[in-house]
């Protein structure tokens, strides 16, 4: 059995004693709104007014906020409700997602440089540890804790752990003080300061202060976000908003080092059921090695014999977490910990598994030098999203794709819009996993307004920032949190010194300080184009409509235009203004990609409904409806238009073990254009075997998946037309894609059958 998260010792994994008072920074006159609230309850403890800035929540965002404010000359108190300082950076990650590396700087960049320097000193300039920390930004959790401790101590930040937030006193839109209680001793503490910063993933201080926030998913129509709301299920409910969150897990650390390996304990509530798909995979494919089962093992961020598998999401267990009290949250953490441990215990001990496989699995265990207060299992739940502030700017999917430039930018996000599953349920087609999406984003600027609330004048929110479910799924990466925290710390300093509200901070001064620290603020340029339908509805078959490309953001004139009207991926027009005759009833998704000679705009889309039919004009079969043989894994492509889709790639190159059969019953006899989509990559095969079964027999093709093509030439669209074929109504129209003889990986996404005219 492993010890649970509430233990007595303080920060044993970090050599520095962060619970001690550290060297104070220079004092300056405090703002007038630091006085205690009138009518303060008699049972509150005496108020500590020794600090200029108080940060609640020692996540990576909270740590950098505290360091930035202290380095600017403020006396800072950092409060944490648990025992870990550093959030996910010390709580299980060994390789954090960063998006575009060139968007990372400031204290975030300093953190990674310090980790690299530590490893060089500890293991040698050319050591594997130094190389991993430098080239791949990989770190051990305990080293991350050491680095944060050094940064906090060097800045003179006072750190106190184990103190849970009880309440915040707010008067006249100003937080007058907060009250915490040490969960070990029951002792209460009250703290007042001119400026407060909420550094929690959950937005606890924000909520306690009466700031407007939301939990759950927006509807697709609310902000016009194509990724929002329900992602799978009955058609009439797709895009609907709800209270659900993407799933949590723990980023528990595993090791294969004999000298520090602790055996995986059987969890108190062992349940192998949710993980039995791994067991079936081992048995069906005769797998004998642990690292063969996990084909992504090389991406687990291995450093010094430790890694972060990022497995065992538990969809649905977190629904109550954001607004629960600490005791209820602890129960959820225990459930997720047990779920994670159940996976590894099953793989090492289940009697149905071959002994050879179990022996290889038992070479892995928990690290003896990590998480000593909690039985070597991280106490940090991976809170991918919880409360989200509704602040002075609410970031949405459009901010991540099109409206990427902000006058009050304080840092950039650049990771994919990435949501893990939110739930499982049954449909007429079977049991589905819902909530997942993964779509690329260019670097985009995050505005200061997204960390400043309405109403409360002395609070900054640097982790539970103002963003939709979709936008937050991109910006929720630790390097971004660190830059947001740094911006919050500097803004707190500027507000206190100017005796102003945080909303009235000089953005020019804030940006100047961030640039001096090395935080990149300017997103790279990409033009933005949209489609204007000049012919008013109703639209009908046989009618010609006029469409126009509209430059929404363009620093140079757009010179090249690629239009596709029928969903086949063929380039069907090439000018700014085009005419298109609608062939038949149905819903058409028109695509446009434009260029200015050096830059390619994001794809623009427009929907045209012709006649009374609401059915798509193109019949599409997604890989989720295909009959799959062999092992496939989720992947995505880097191509500009492919950011709208995610596909699968086969596990075994060229051996014939993988096959995908896409079948559809077409509505009428006739000729159809067959088009396929896949995520392009340089490791794809150039000779992918494709078999098209049609009314005249069979046609075999070899597909080059390293690039998109249109009529044998590179094309800009996801779908690639493979030609016209005759099909009979009611009989299966079939496209089979395999990997026999393929030299490279084979990828699949969808097949379309488009009536040809």
Q: Residue 98: its pLDDT value, please? A: 87
- Kindly state the percentage of the chain with pLDDT values over 90: 82
Looking at per-residue pLDDT, the higher value among 4 and 541 belongs to 541
- Which residues partner with 468 through β-bridges? none
**pLDDT for 545 beyond 80:** yes
pLDDT of amino acid 439: 87
SS3 224: coil
Asked if 416 contacts 440 with a C-beta cutoff of 8 angstroms, the reply is yes
Instruction: Say yes or no to pLDDT of 7 above 60.
Output: no
Do 416 and 474 meet the contact criterion of CB atoms below 8 Å apart?
A: yes
Q: How far apart are CA 672 and CA 693, in angstroms?
A: 12
> What mean pLDDT do residues 37-60 have?
85
Instruction: Give kind and range of the element (H or E) at residue 723.
Output: strand 719-727
Please, what's the largest Cα pairwise distance for the chain? 88
Q: What is the pLDDT of residue 16?
A: 35
- Which H or E run contains 347? helix 326-349
- Mean pLDDT over all residues of the chain? 91
CA pair distance 320, 337, nearest whole angstrom? 17
Q: Show the tokens assigned to 135.
A: 């080239």
Q: pLDDT tier at 44 (50, 70, 90 boundaries)?
A: confident
E strand residue ranges, 199-302:
213-214, 254-255, 261-262
What domains does the chain contain, in order, with CATH numbers?
Answer: 254-374 (no CATH), 528-610 (2.60.40.10), 619-755 (2.60.120.260)
- At residue 50's C-alpha, the angle toward residues 45 and 55, to 5°, is 85
Of 13-27, 139-153, 291-305, the range with the highest mean pLDDT is: 139-153
CB contact at 8 A, 587 and 552:
no
Q: pLDDT tens digit string along 122-181?
A: 999 999 999 999 988 999 999 999 999 999 999 999 999 999 999 999 999 999 999 999
Q: Which of 67-71, 255-259, 705-709 has the lowest mean pLDDT?
A: 705-709
Is the Cβ–Cβ distance between 49 and 193 less than 8 Å?
yes
Is the preceding peptide bond at 538 cis, omega within 30 degrees of 0?
yes
Q: Summarize pLDDT for 372-429 with one digit per residue, the tens.
A: 999 999 999 999 999 999 999 999 999 999 999 999 999 999 999 999 999 999 999 8
CB neighbour list of residue 712: distance below 8 Å, 6 or more residues apart? none
- Least trusted range by pLDDT, from 163-172, 648-657, 699-708: 648-657
User: In this prediction, what percent of the chain has a pLDDT beyond 70?
Assistant: 92
């Amino acid at each position: 059995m492993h010890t649970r998260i509430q233990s007595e010792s303080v920060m044993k994994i970090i050599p520095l004693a962060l619970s001690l008072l550290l060297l104070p920074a220079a004092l300056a006159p405090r703002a007038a709104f630091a006085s205690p609230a009138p009518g303060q309850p008699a049972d509150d403890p005496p108020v500590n007014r020794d600090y200029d800035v108080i940060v609640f929540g020692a996540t990576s965002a909270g740590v950098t906020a505290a360091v930035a404010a202290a380095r600017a000359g403020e006396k800072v108190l950092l409060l944490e409700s648990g025992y870990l300082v550093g959030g996910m950076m010390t709580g299980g990650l060994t390789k954090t997602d960063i998006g575009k590396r060139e968007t990372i700087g400031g204290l975030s960049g300093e953190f990674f440089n310090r980790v690299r320097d530590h490893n060089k000193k500890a293991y040698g300039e050319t050591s594997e540890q130094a190389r991993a920390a430098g080239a791949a930004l990989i770190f051990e959790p305990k080293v991350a804790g050491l680095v944060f401790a050094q940064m906090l101590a060097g800045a003179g930040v006072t750190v106190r752990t184990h103190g849970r937030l009880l309440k915040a006193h707010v008067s006249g839109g100003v937080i007058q003080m907060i009250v915490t209680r040490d969960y070990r001793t029951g002792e209460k503490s009250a703290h007042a300061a001119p400026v407060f910063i909420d550094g929690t993933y959950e937005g606890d201080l924000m909520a306690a202060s009466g700031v407007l926030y939301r939990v759950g998913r927006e509807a697709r129509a609310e902000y016009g976000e194509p990724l929002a709301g329900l992602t799978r299920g009955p058609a009439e409910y797709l895009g609907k908003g709800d209270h659900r969150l993407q799933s949590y897990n723990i980023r528990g650390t595993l090791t294969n080092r004999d000298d520090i390996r602790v055996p995986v304990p059987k969890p108190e509530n062992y349940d192998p059921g949710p993980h039995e798909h791994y067991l079936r995979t081992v048995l069906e494919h005769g797998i004998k090695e642990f690292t063969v089962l996990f084909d992504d093992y090389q991406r687990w961020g291995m450093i010094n014999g430790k890694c972060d598998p990022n497995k065992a999401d538990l969809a649905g267990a977190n629904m109550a977490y954001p607004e629960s009290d600490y005791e209820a949250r602890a129960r959820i953490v225990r459930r997720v910990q047990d779920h994670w441990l159940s996976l590894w215990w099953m793989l090492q001990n289940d009697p149905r598994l071959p002994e050879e496989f179990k022996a290889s699995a038992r070479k892995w265990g928990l690290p003896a030098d990590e998480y000593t207060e909690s039985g070597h299992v991280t106490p940090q739940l991976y809170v991918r999203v919880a409360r989200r502030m509704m602040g002075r700017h609410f970031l949405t999917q459009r901010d991540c794709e099109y409206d990427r430039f902000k006058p009050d930018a304080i840092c950039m996000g650049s990771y994919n819009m990435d949501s893990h599953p939110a739930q499982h349920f049954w449909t007429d087609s079977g049991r589905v996993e819902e909530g997942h999406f993964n779509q690329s984003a260019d670097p985009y600027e995050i505005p200061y307004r997204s960390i400043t609330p309405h109403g409360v004048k002395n609070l900054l929110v640097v982790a539970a920032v103002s963003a939709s479910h979709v936008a937050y799924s991109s910006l929720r990466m630790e390097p971004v949190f660190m830059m947001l925290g740094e911006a919050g710390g500097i803004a707190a300093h500027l507000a206190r010194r100017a005796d102003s509200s945080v909303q009235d901070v000089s953005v020019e001064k804030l940006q100047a300080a961030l640039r001096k620290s090395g935080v990149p603020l300017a997103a790279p340029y990409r033009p933005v184009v949209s489609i204007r339908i000049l012919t008013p509805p109703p639209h009908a078959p046989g009618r010609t409509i006029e469409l126009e490309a509209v430059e929404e953001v363009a620093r140079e004139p757009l010179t090249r235009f690629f239009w596709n009207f029928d969903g086949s991926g063929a380039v069907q027009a090439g000018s700014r203004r085009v005419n298109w005759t609608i062939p038949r009833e149905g819903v058409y998704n028109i695509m446009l990609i434009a260029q200015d000679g050096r830059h390619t705009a994001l794809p623009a889309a427009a929907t045209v409904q012709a006649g009374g039919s609401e059915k798509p004009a193109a019949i599409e079969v997604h890989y989720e409806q295909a009959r799959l043989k062999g092992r496939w894994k989720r992947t995505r492509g880097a191509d500009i238009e492919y950011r709208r889709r995610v596909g699968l790639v086969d596990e075994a190159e060229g051996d014939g073990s993988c096959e995908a059969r896409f079948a559809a019953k077409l509505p009428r006899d006739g000729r159809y254009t067959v088009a396929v989509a896949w995520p392009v990559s340089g490791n794809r095969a150039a000779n992918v075997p494709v078999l098209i079964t049609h009314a005249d027999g069979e046609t075999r093709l070899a597909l080059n998946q390293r690039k998109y093509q249109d009529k044998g030439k590179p094309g800009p669209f996801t779908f690639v037309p493979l030609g016209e074929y005759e099909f009979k109504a009611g009989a299966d129209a079939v496209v089979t894609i395999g990997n026999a003889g393929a030299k490279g990986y084979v990828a699949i996404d969808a097949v379309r059958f488009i009536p040809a005219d």
